[in-house]
Amino acid sequence: MTILVETGSGYRVITLNRPERLNALTVDMAEALMAALAEAEGDKTCRAVLLTGAGRGFCTGQDLTAIVDASADAISDLLDRYNPLISRLRALRLPVVCAVNGVAAGAGANLALACDIVLAANSASFVQAFARIGLIPDCGGTWFLPRLVGGARARALAMLADPLPAETAAQWGLIWQAVPDDRLMQEAHGLTARLAAGPTAALALVKQALEASAGNDLDGQLDLERDLQAEAAATPDHAEGLRAFLEKRRPAFGGGRS
């Protein structure tokens, strides 16, 4: 099994599972991931996803042994298979936490960056390794990097292909937090459980609004916020949040849509 899926209370844990190859990606794996995300989204009891890797690495991008003799067309066909995974993660109507347990390289780094909240073990690193093999950052790298860390750092990361330690990645805003190795999974589970108990429909609308902001001017984004806020306001969780505030208690969000 190239990925493992565990169903917990309220969320699913998806583990990349080719530890002997530091979880390098194959098309089978990408397709299994897509299917697992679709299943998570289709399960009304699942309200968040936690993505991590088995063993000492998170994911080292494309399995290079599979592209040794690949033609240019085969490379572009491969990306046609991987790109839907990145789009799916961004559009998934569930929050996705990524626990980067070790090195995240090439497309593996950008797979992590496609998730909503990225935690990394202090010993982990992010490597835009592509230039080492004469390629360019793909799987969204050239979109995520300048937006997360600015143009100067994006260019240096992409051109030098040097590993960026997790703590620097957090300081630069590439990821949410770096945590001690022995606390990574505990922190990641805690965060995912917290999101799974959140206003799921509103969190999906947050994703939608933030994603759209990259292509909107302020007026366009204000219009979108008005429309999405109307959707959020119609959810039972909004009513529950207001009641809880007035009753001075913690809200019990059900996650349902209006």
Q: Given the rule CB under 6 A, which residues bind ligand LHQ?
A: 21-22, 24, 60-65, 67, 75, 78-79, 82, 103, 105-107, 129-130, 132-133, 135, 138
Of 130 and 253, CB closest to ligand LHQ: 130
Smallest gap, in angstroms, from Cβ of residue 110 to ligand LHQ?
Answer: 8
Of 79 and 233, CB closest to ligand LHQ: 79
Helix (H, G, I), strand (E, B) or coil at 135: coil
Smallest gap, in angstroms, from Cβ of residue 134 to ligand LHQ?
Answer: 10
Smallest gap, in angstroms, from Cβ of residue 84 to ligand LHQ?
Answer: 13
Answer yes or no: are the C-beta atoms of 29 and 3 closer than 8 Å.
yes
Smallest gap, in angstroms, from Cβ of residue 23 to ligand LHQ?
Answer: 8
Answer yes or no: are the C-beta atoms of 139 and 104 closer than 8 Å.
no
Of 34 and 64, CB closest to ligand LHQ: 64
Answer yes or no: are the C-beta atoms of 140 and 79 closer than 8 Å.
no
Answer yes or no: are the C-beta atoms of 98 and 112 closer than 8 Å.
yes
Of 75 and 228, CB closest to ligand LHQ: 75
Measured CA to CA, the distance from residue 202 to residue 229 in angstroms comes to 9
* Cα of 181 vs its chain's centroid, Å: 19
Of 103 and 204, CB closest to ligand LHQ: 103
Measured CA to CA, the distance from residue 166 to residue 120 in angstroms comes to 6
Smallest gap, in angstroms, from Cβ of residue 79 to ligand LHQ?
Answer: 5
Burial class (CB in 10 A: 0-12, 13-18, 19+), 95: buried
Q: Are strands 164-165 and 103-105 parallel, antiparallel or unpaired?
A: unpaired
